[in-house]
């Protein structure tokens, strides 16, 4: 399968990745893994989906999302390894815009029935809360008085790993679905603070309902002057 892009008015924009794209993403992710970090056994520090058996799953999915966004827009991937990570993923210099790409490992609907209702800040968060919302981390540890993490990007783009084959550890083909995007100000206005998705999590998340996201076709139209047209896979 070759890399490519196609759009659907209702379902967003799909980006297919070939073996070369995915190998590049996996290699970059491997260089970011935190296995040797002193806080590896602290779940919210190592990444909730990372484990002793798969110690860079979070980084791998993140890099796959970035690879797909690079194919979509032609914007260059930041390959520099920084001790404390990046404040955002891409910079569209032509429109002076900082972009953060978030990727879910599965569709939010996958989580239906997985969680037991739980209370946070006087509200009950249960099955419905997690079904159609995307999230980003708001606070490392809810037990501390440290302030919430800032929203550093101008634009947040939300996506889902539609499929990775034959598996997500060494994929040779795959597809990422870009669901929608939102400006920082709108995200700040409509976000909800809630408990981490996994039971027992000590961190907090910002949640944004899918209904507040704008379509990816409007994103491509609005920011097209900031893309690298010689490298991107779709023109609007």
Both tokens assigned to 35? 């296995």
Q: Which of 31-40, 76-85, 109-118 has the highest mean pLDDT?
A: 76-85
Residue with tokens 């190998």: 23
pLDDT reading at 229 higher than 60: yes
End-to-end CA distance of the chain: 23
Cα separation, 221 vs 219, whole angstroms:
5
Reduced to 3 states, what is the DSSP secondary structure of residue 6?
A: strand
Cα separation, 13 vs 54, whole angstroms:
29
Residue with tokens 């597809």: 175
Number of H helices, E strands in the chain: 6, 11
What value does the mean pLDDT of the chain take? 77
Q: What is the pLDDT of residues 16-70, one digit of tens each?
A: 999 999 999 988 888 766 555 555 445 545 556 666 677 678 888 899 999 999 9
- Measure CA 208 to chain center: 13
Entry pTM: 0.80
Q: Nearest CA to 205 among 149, 121, 126? A: 149
């Amino acid at each position: 399968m070759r890399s490519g892009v196609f759009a659907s008015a209702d379902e967003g924009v799909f980006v297919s990745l070939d073996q070369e794209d995915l190998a590049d993403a996996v290699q970059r992710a491997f260089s970011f893994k935190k296995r040797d970090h002193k806080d590896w056994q602290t779940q919210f520090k190592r990444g909730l989906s990372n484990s002793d058996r798969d110690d860079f799953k979070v980084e791998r999915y993140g890099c796959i999302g970035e690879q797909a966004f690079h194919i979509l827009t032609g914007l260059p991937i930041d390959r520099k390894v920084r001790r404390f990570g990046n404040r955002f993923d891409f910079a569209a210099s032509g429109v002076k815009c900082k972009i953060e790409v978030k990727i879910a490992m599965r569709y939010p609907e996958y989580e239906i029935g997985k969680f037991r209702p739980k209370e946070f800040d006087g509200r009950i968060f249960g099955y419905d809360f997690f079904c159609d919302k995307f999230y980003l981390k708001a606070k490392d540890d809810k037990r501390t008085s440290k302030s919430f993490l800032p929203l550093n990007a101008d634009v947040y783009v939300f996506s889902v790993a539609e499929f990775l084959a034959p598996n997500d550890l060494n994929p040779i083909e795959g597809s990422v679905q870009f669901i929608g995007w939102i400006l920082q100000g709108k995200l700040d206005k409509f976000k909800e603070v809630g408990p981490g998705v996994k039971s027992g999590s000590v961190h907090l998340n910002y949640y944004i309902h899918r209904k507040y996201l704008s379509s990816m076709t409007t994103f491509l139209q609005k920011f097209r002057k900031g893309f690298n047209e010689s490298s991107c896979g779709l023109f609007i």
